[in-house]
Structure 1
């Protein structure tokens, strides 16, 4: 992968490539529990769009520096929100929402390594990822209703309902109560909980399993899984799947996989 993005200096983020094809994006405001501000929204969008253009980037892990994943919008910057006009507040919302959309729209699978609190916008950020692995200290809440706002923010109402079901999403959205790591597994909010100190190792191991597969196959799988959450019929889902499979058989990875099977060797995928 071209190193330019990895060597750029960001005010609120740190980037690292611990293994070929796997990029870690770390929220880096630990003194503020990685709370979001407009600079972070802008940098998240720019990094997501930049990594999306890198063929060598195969998996992205998103995590937080220090003891929190992300404490949501920084309330120290929130006092002016009530003074914004309607269009000014819409601009503010769209700035924040673009960062979530950019992350969710990445062609690479994204893993949220939730190392601590993920509240409000932090929960939304974890939901925007494809997979969520939690540390024992992870905790989640919608938080919005605690400060007079709606849980319909930054995609939370759409994603939380599809992950946990409407009844659980309604309870969490109306109460803003805290969900600890073990409960998060039972309500399908996270995929798994790591042992103490093992979160990043588990995420890197999961990333390695993904990187070992065909880049095109993984990317088309992500597209089908996401898009078919939004279509209205089985027939439409099948149509989308058919197009993806037809495209993939025109590349080099499927013939390589068949040849590797016959020759009893690991496949050498290129994504071309």
Structure 2
């Protein structure tokens, strides 16, 4: 399921309290206006996934369904890397390896439900990838809507290196749709590393910057997205994801037609037209 081999028990840490009042031990959620900056916070384990982090990520992203005040999420990792995948020294990994089939399915579904929640939530997610983005950490990056890589980013779907299949927690679905079937097959069949520059050539990431410039790079995407209508931004993410699997061009057009007609009845559309005519910045209310 991942590539990080961690055997020692993680140190105890006091729970952090987010700006929303949620208590987290393994992630930090910082609100900056309408944007949540979510930091994976197990740096001593290269942000490897354990029970607590998996549950907190799943709960956070599922909670976004009912949080229209949160418009965008920036996902990043503390310390030397983004996320090294499943912590193979954790109880989570032990249940996957040693439990019965039901226990293994529970672990598997618990992790893949994080990626599912990321795709389902209406807020666009910008992933800032640095250092290791391996195994399940790689798929966390794939589940983002926009990815920006640091020059030192190293990605892989290394499940196959440890005796598992190359397709895990969404990799075999997301990766071919992002970089094409041939390149995806190469990476998932071999588990080989993908560096930042090749990821850029494959259009897996939008740009590559020095690590210290990742936050500034994200800001360049946040500004134009925050200038859009909140409902329109969420529906655009929805239609992009849905039409990846549209059975026909006509079906894709029908979904776009629905969105445009619904949005044409919002107050934000009227405000957008008025602002365009007046040559001023629109003030959207999400209504």
TM range (shorter): over 0.9
Matched, 1:9 2:53: no
Partner residue, 1:176: 191
Given candidates 107, 115, 132, the residue that maps to 1:117 is: 132
Alpha-carbon distance, 1:7 to partner? 3.5
RMSD of aligned Cα (Å): 1.4
Q: What CA distance in whole angstroms lies between the structure 2 residues aligned with 1:217 and 1:55? A: 12
Partner residue, 1:162: 177
Structure 1 stretch 47-56 or stretch 111-120: which is displaced more?
47-56
> What is the TM-score of this pair, normalised by structure 1?
0.95
Q: Deviations over 1:151-183 (max 9, x none)?
A: 211100000011111110000001111111111
Superposed structure 1 runs of 4+ greater than 4 Å apart? none
Partner residue, 2:11: none
Given candidates 132, 139, 144, the residue that maps to 2:154 is: 139
Q: Deviations over 1:190-245 (max 9, x none)?
A: 11112341101111221122111111111111111100011210011011111111
Which segments of 5 or more consecutive residues in structure 2 lack a partner in the other structure?
A: 1-16
The 5 A counterparts of 1:8-157 are 8-18=22-32, 20-77=33-90, 78-157=93-172
| CA 245–10 in structure 1, closer or farther in 2 if over 3 Å, else same | same
Maintained 8 Å contact 2:19/2:30? no
Maintained 8 Å contact 1:38/1:96? no
How many pairs does the alignment contain?
Answer: 269
Structure 1 stretch 191-200 or stretch 236-245: which is displaced more?
191-200
Alpha-carbon distance, 1:5 to partner? 5.6
Alpha-carbon distance, 1:52 to partner? 2.9
Partner residue, 2:228: 213
Which segments of 5 or more consecutive residues in structure 1 lack a partner in the other structure?
A: none
> What is the TM-score of this pair, normalised by structure 2?
0.90
Maintained 8 Å contact 2:96/2:108? no
